[in-house]
Every structure is written in C-alpha cells, then in structure tokens.
Amino acid sequence: MALLLWTDTSRSCNPCMQPSHYIPDTRIFKIIVIGDSNVGKTCLTFRFCGGTFPGKTEATIGVDFREKTVEIEGERIKVQVWDTAGQERFRKSMVEHYYRNVHAVVFVYDVTKMSSFTNLKTWIEECNGHAVSPLVPRVLVGNKCDLKDLIQVPSSLALKFADAHNMLLFETSAKDPQESQNVDAIFMCLVCRLKAQRLLPCRDTEGWPAQPQPHCRRLDEASGKGSCPC
Ligand SMILES: Nc1nc2c(ncn2[C@@H]2O[C@H](COP(=O)(O)OP(=O)(O)OP(=O)(O)O)[C@@H](O)[C@H]2O)c(=O)[nH]1
Ligand SMILES: [Mg+2]
C-alpha cells in the first residue's frame, strides 16, 4: 500500500535503485516569510503551523523554522516555513540562506502601518537581487485586519500593488481565530501551486539542486492531476 511507503526512511531519489511502485519521500517545500519588523510574520507562521496566536513574541533573530505536513490529493507534503527577521541587524548574516533554493515567498505588511506597505518594494528588490526565479510563486499578505479602526492601507491600493507584481493578495489577521482559515489559505495556495509545478525535488536539505530534477517526480503526477483552491 502506498501509505506504508511514507514511512520509508530512505532518502534516495535515484529511480534505478527503487522498485517500479516506489513513491519518493515526502517532498519538502521551503517557503520564506519576509517583511518589516513587527508586521506579524512570527504570529502568522505560528498560526499556520501551530494553530494558535502566540501570547508574546520577541523580534526574530536570524530565522525560526516551523513545519507543517499537509496532504493534498493523496500526497503528503512537508511545508517548511522560514520565519525571517525583519530587523536588519538580526538578518544580515542570514539573507543568503533565506533565498537559497526557496520555493515560494510570502511578503507581509501591516495594514495599520503604511510604512510597512511602502517598504515592500525594498523587500521585493532584495528578493529579485538574490536571483529568485520568476517561477517561484509569491503572495502578498496584509496582516492585523482585526484592528479595523486603525487601518491605513486601503485594500484597493494593496490590490493594485499585488496586481502590478503578479501576486495574489490576502488580507487577514494572525490574531483573530476566525481568520485562521484565511491564514491557512495563504500557505495552502502556495503548496497547491508548487505541487502543480510537479518537478520539485524530494530532498529536504539546503543542498537541494537549484534546478528541478525530473527523476524526483511523483509517479502519479504523470497523470497531470492537480487543482488549486485559489
Ligand atoms: N492586533 C494584531 N496584532 C498582531 C497580529 N499579528 C501580530 N501581532 C502583534 O504584532 C507584534 C509583532 O508580531 P511578530 O509576529 O513578532 O512580528 P514579526 O514580523 O515577526 O517581527 P520581527 O521578528 O521583528 O521581524 C506582536 O505584538 C504581535 O502580538 C494581528 O494579526 N493582529
Ligand atoms: Mg518575528
């Protein structure tokens, strides 16, 4: 049964070594979360991976890793979320690592702070400056929508920006439990898109090859099935 194969601890992707029914290891998608300090990157990743809003957060130093395994159309996928530091002094030695072999990027701003929105262009420039392929999906997230009376960034402006940069826009709140499905949707949308690309390798180390490796395809993906909820 395919289910039993998920417990296989082998990390080999070499099809020559595997029986014809072999299904590769759980694929791991590296998603980085980028944006100004204090916009809520840690809270959003906490909400997605842990299902809760952290009572108290400190500024992230370097990077915090969070993981969540999801199942889409019978495939288990490990989502490795890189919660990056927004403060320059806590991120400068790490930036290269953030962008290396990244599969998707989440840009976050705070809907109650216009400067976090205007700074997005700097974050996008940094991302582009690290030769992130245009094929790497990106989404834009306006966080803290629960603070309705304090909103500074109109949805129309954010939508225009997202359109101009070929990104989907999510406006949500890491704090409001009723918004948790929308937080999940941010990451699930990216996972669905990545799954649809089909060629991502199945290794889970930073040594992943930069280019897709056709021999790491899921066997059942040849059928071309795949749908994205967004
Ligand atoms: N009201 C409200 N507050 C939020 C929300 N998300 C985060 N916060 C608060 O915003 C502050 C900063 O949140 P963090 O998640 O630590 O911000 P960050 O972007 O990770 O900051 P750095 O690690 O410094 O880059 C904290 O006080 C959170 O409680 C939200 O959706 N609504
Ligand atoms: Mg943080």
Q: What was the pLDDT predicted at 25?
A: 73
- pLDDT (mean) for 121-140: 95
Whether the CB of 86 sits within 6 Å of ligand 1: yes
Place 78 in a pLDDT band, splitting at 50, 70 and 90.
Answer: very high
- pLDDT (mean) for 157-176: 98
The CATH number of residue 30's host domain is 3.40.50.300
Residues flanking ion ligand 2, Cβ below 5 Å = 41-42, 60
Q: How many CB atoms lie within 10 A of CB 31?
A: 25
Whether the CB of 204 sits within 6 Å of ligand 1: no
In a domain, 146, yes or no: yes
Task: Indicate the average pLDDT of the chain.
Answer: 81
In a domain, 17, yes or no: no
The percentage of the chain sitting over the pLDDT mark of 70, rounded to a whole number, equals: 75
Backbone angles phi, psi at 217, to 5 degrees: -65, 145
Q: What was the pLDDT predicted at 62?
A: 97
In a domain, 117, yes or no: yes
- pLDDT (mean) for 106-134: 97
Whether the CB of 66 sits within 6 Å of ligand 1: no
Q: What was the pLDDT predicted at 206?
A: 42
Q: Looking at ligand 1, which atom is closest to the CA of residue 54? A: 29
In a domain, 134, yes or no: yes
Q: What was the pLDDT predicted at 88?
A: 96
- pLDDT reading at 100 higher than 80: yes
In a domain, 228, yes or no: no
Ligand located closest to 148 CA: 1
In a domain, 124, yes or no: yes
Count of domains observed in the chain: 1
Cα 60 to middle of ligand 2, angstroms = 4
pLDDT tens-digit readout, 179-227? 999 999 999 999 999 998 865 554 444 433 333 332 222 222 223 333 4
Q: What was the pLDDT predicted at 24?
A: 57
In a domain, 46, yes or no: yes
End-to-end CA distance of the chain: 31
From 42, 60, 92, 98, the mutation candidate for ligand 1 (largest count of ligand atoms within 8 A of CB) is 42
Q: Closest by alpha carbon to 72, among 214, 205, 210, 184?
A: 184
Q: What was the pLDDT predicted at 149?
A: 98
In a domain, 42, yes or no: yes
DSSP state of 228: -
Identify the domain containing residue 87 by its residue range: 4-11+24-201+214-221
45 burial (CB, 10 Å; 0-12 / 13-18 / 19+) is buried
Find the helix packing angle between 41-50 and 180-197, rounded to 10°.
80
- pLDDT (mean) for 76-89: 97
pLDDT tens-digit readout, 6-27? 222 222 333 334 444 555 578 9
- pLDDT reading at 229 higher than 50: no
Single-letter residue type at 61: I
Q: What was the pLDDT predicted at 197?
A: 83
Say what the ipTM of the complex is: 0.99
Nearest CA to ligand 1 atom 12: 38
How far apart, in whole angstroms, are the C-alpha atoms of residue 216 and residue 56?
41
Query: What does the angle CA 23 – CA 83 – CA 32 come to, to the nearest 5 degrees?
Result: 55
